[in-house]
Amino acid sequence: MDPTLEMELFEPIGEPLVINGNSDYNSEFQLYLYGMIILIILSRNLCYK
């Protein structure tokens, strides 16, 4: 994965996580993050087929 792309994707999303210590928000954020990672992996696999 391109490191600059990774930073652009995750850095803006990660900022509210530090400000908001809410555990519900954290679990939602983790689900969203895993969803993004799965989407990236799937799209990369499709591109290389």
Is 5 inside any structural domain?
no
Q: What is the mean pLDDT of residues 21-40?
A: 77
Please state, in angstroms and as integers, the Cα–Cα distance from residue 45 to each residue in 8, 36, 38, 39, 48, following that order.
21, 14, 11, 10, 5
Which pLDDT band, with edges at 50, 70 and 90, does 27 fall under? confident
Percent of the residues in the chain that have a pLDDT greater than 70, as a whole number = 45
Contact (Cβ atoms closer than 8 angstroms) between residue 35 and residue 10: no
Is 6 inside any structural domain?
no
Q: Which domain holds residue 44?
A: 20-49
Is 25 inside any structural domain?
yes
**pLDDT, position 25:** 60
CA-angle at 36, arms to 30 and 39, nearest 5°: 140
**pLDDT, position 12:** 52
Is 32 inside any structural domain?
yes
Which pLDDT band, with edges at 50, 70 and 90, does 47 fall under? confident
Is 24 inside any structural domain?
yes
Is 26 inside any structural domain?
yes
Q: How many domains does the chain have?
A: 1
